[in-house]
Structure 1
């Protein structure tokens, strides 16, 4: 695999600051020697500074779970990209299925946020994925196409090469169900093919596409063996050091720990 794997922990609304700081220290020990893959932590907003400080020399990357597209304004409860960048965030998760389907964020908002992230030098992790009824109706590609086109409608073509995409089938998030490696690969290949048509083959080749949806220690190896899966966006399993550590230390084909 030429693209450096990105193994991302999305803690959602979990852990205290004390627990988060302790987690980082223990994870650093567990994943020592895994410099050939990037480890990313996306804690709650209130934990960002403490987690950044706890990372120290661990070399982990820091992400926010969401943002607003405006730099400032009367937007109670929101947080801007300059604020996130100031606290050390190099990435921001955008369009996560929980933001889309629980909080009703439309595709257009995701597009505004993605463009704003690029403008402020923060790498967007653009989440896309279909609901169960859409997959059963064989509309997966239709949904992905809409979310990709709208999510990147205002993104500068010259900056898209730094983009990260996360394919997260909604029916596999927090349900214990996981897309088979073959199902995940099929969706990832579709996304990469669209990127090649929309931009350039070389750009598409270098963009990392993560899989998200009940990733666990016992399925990560098979998922990461697929040619177009470049990492994982991990929810529940990222809250346990041993589980997430094993996910980070996934075994490539023919390797043994």
Structure 2
């Protein structure tokens, strides 16, 4: 997996390679920009390493430079590597996990459509404070320490993005994600009822993949797709950000596959109510 220093080196090498290829072709930045249908300022930012070019950008530059197909392969692989970010859970905790919540809020504010695939746990945008406090509190011996209360406060602050009805939010959960007891029963009841309330918002689509659904592909990871420009994938060890349009397209296909098999609207709320009832009947 990529580490921050390697990511910076990969991006610097890609920028230098593209700059060298342009010069070898005898083209100015302005001429290349015209051929690639890009602005000269964007070409300059890419070649200086100030902007990470998308894989599509690099493909257009390769075409404009008339680079042979066999010579494109390594450069495109470098572009794909440059479009992957990895932040370990330990690094995030060291910097302050509350910062990650602020980043998520900013990503939502810069997007029109946000799709959450949630096979294990509800999104932070759906969580009550008590539920968030429970899941953010370290439970495994090797879990990094964190300022739980500040993280909870930041997560609750992010909820205001849901108030902007010009943005649409799609939450796709597995039934397991709402059944898994990640907090005391009373907190689980409150959490499930809160999710049902959020699902009534006009800009929210909340769907649940029932345990009875017939699927042939396993729901492996939590991921979020921001418009069609970025995917973040969560793992135990950290978070990966993908910007390659092929990765984004693949994750949209995954989302659509499970969404077609999920219950939504009144049916989803019935599942939430049923699971909440089961938690209510648990002995204290």
Larger Rg over CA atoms: 2
